[in-house]
Amino acid sequence: QDIENHINGKSTSDAIRFWPGKENPNLVGKTFSASEFTSEDMAPFFDANGDGIYNPDDLDYPTIKFTADPSKAAYADEMIFWVINDLGNAHIVPDAQPIGVQINCLAFAYQTSDELNNMTFYTYDIFNKSTDDLTNTYMSQFVDCDLGNYSDDYVGCDTIRNMGFCYNADPDDET
């Protein structure tokens, strides 16, 4: 609703005003240094004027993927963006040097009256921020699905549709 209100000129919520899009003038110099937003494509957004800068005053708004094409500006009922990296805090477990990887994460969901209402979706953009090339690198996601009985759940993936899923090993779904 926030995005629709913004698009229709009714109101601009703080969620849109402070979305961490590239060079957002509402954040630069206030929450983050200018350099952190100068070259980074942080949170994805619809770029209404095509200048590559997120500015809600230009009618830019959060989207699932970067686009300047209004026909491809998809957004969900709830979207949350965050960044994780291995450069902050102490490296205790494992006791290893940071490699300089940053992951931009976006979680989103839809409010519906069907199965889609019970799903969350995630996108991850992975960046090598170090000066070293990474070779033979593997990425994975830890998943601990509990679908009914926790001891008979399996996970899988559909690489064609870029989708992961959880399912029961048997038809008896104990509590």
CA–CA distance, 23 with 38 (Å, rounded to integer): 6
Query: Which tens digit of pLDDT belongs to each residue from 142-166?
Result: 778 888 888 888 888 898 988 888 8
Which pLDDT score, from 0 to 100, does residue 137 have?
79
The sign one gets for the Cα dihedral 76, 78, 79, 84 is: negative
CA–CA distance, 147 with 153 (Å, rounded to integer): 6
Element (H, E) at 3: helix 2-7
Query: Which tens digit of pLDDT belongs to each residue from 102-119?
Result: 889 999 999 999 989 988
With residues binned 3-state (H G I as helix, E B as strand, rest as coil), the percentages for the chain, rounded to 5, are 15, 25, 60
Query: Which tens digit of pLDDT belongs to each residue from 58-67?
Result: 999 999 999 9
Contacts of 122 (CB under 8 A, 6+ apart): 105, 106, 107, 108
- 102 C-beta neighbours (distance < 10 Å), count: 16
**pTM of the complete model beyond 0.85:** no
- Name which residue leads in pLDDT, 18 or 93: 18
